[in-house]
Amino acid sequence: MSRKGDMDTLVGRKPPHSGGSGKPPGKSSATHKALITRNLKLAFGPVTNEKLPERWLELLGEIDGNEDKQS
Amino acid sequence: MSAPQAFKAELIELLPSLRAFARSLAHNAAQADDLVQDTLVKALANVDRFEPGTNLRAWLFTILRNHYYSQLRKSKREIEDAEGRHAARIAVRPEQDGSVDLEDFKVAFAQLAPDHREVLSLVGASGCSYEEAAQICGCAVGTIKSRVNRARRKLSDLLGLEDEGGAMIPESSVPQETASV
């Protein structure tokens, strides 16, 4: 096989989708996906329950002020 | 309810998820809250540019994201961080049952490049569709899908999660319709 052919074989080769280890491919990938998703929600989900700083609500009060001025 | 009041009400409703997105980009809560505050100031200053009825969440997330990257370019702190301070601090190993300690997860997540953190946060934590994430990040849907896949793979590596048989996580494992990480 030519050198280019060797490289094509190496670069283009994909992991086998069946056989070999006897375990279904993508099984652990799916597990990792679920694990990552779960941990993302655990890591950032509680942030959404934190009390909002007053300074943000005061900023949004500007909307009321602008509306009063216009009316 | 007047249009400004409706805008305000929707904005308040979105603040918690905006804050969570900021927290995923910034490395501490104070910096994240400053990001949200700056985003609010910008949003209020440009409220006339927002078209009622369009996606306010995407609009706000985009403002926050752009502001974050603008700050990042100025400070370069994040780049130094990515080059190893976090990495040098710990070596993450998965528990024997395949679960991962949440603190280890957070540390590993913090080691990801900002563009990887943002897509995982948008699609995985914020529940954005790939289309919405693409709109926020200003790139193609396909780019988001492959970026999510690469980010997930990198995170798996950092967490020491190995694929059985050494198989890579295939692109096809990313759902085409439903966004998930």
ipTM of the complex: 0.76
Q: Over 70: is that where the pLDDT of B85 sits?
A: no
Angstroms from B61 CA to nearest CA on chain A:
15
pTM as predicted: 0.74
- Residue A11 near chain B (CB below 8 Å): no
Please name the residue of chain A whose CA is at the shortest distance from the CA of residue B4.
Answer: A63
A32:B33 CB<8 A: no
- Residue A25: pLDDT band by 50, 70, 90 thresholds? very low
Structure tokens at A27: 């099984």
Q: Which DSSP state fits A52?
A: P
Provide mean pLDDT across the span B121-141. 95
What pLDDT, on a 0 to 100 scale, did the predictor assign at position B82? Answer: 54
Amino acid at site B19: R
Better-predicted residue by pLDDT, B138 or A8:
B138
Rounded-to-integer distance, Cα B42 and Cα B38, Å: 6
- Residue B79: pLDDT band by 50, 70, 90 thresholds? low
The CB-based long-range contact list for B125-132 (8 Å cut-off, 24+ gap) reads: B125/A40, B125/A41, B125/A43, B125/A44, B125/A45, B125/B20, B125/B21, B125/B24, B126/A44, B126/B17, B126/B20, B126/B21, B126/B61, B127/B179, B128/B57, B128/B61, B128/B179, B129/B179, B130/B179, B132/B55, B132/B57, B132/B58
Say what percent of chain B tops pLDDT 70. 76
Q: Over 80: is that where the pLDDT of B83 sits?
A: no
Structure tokens at B63: 């403002």
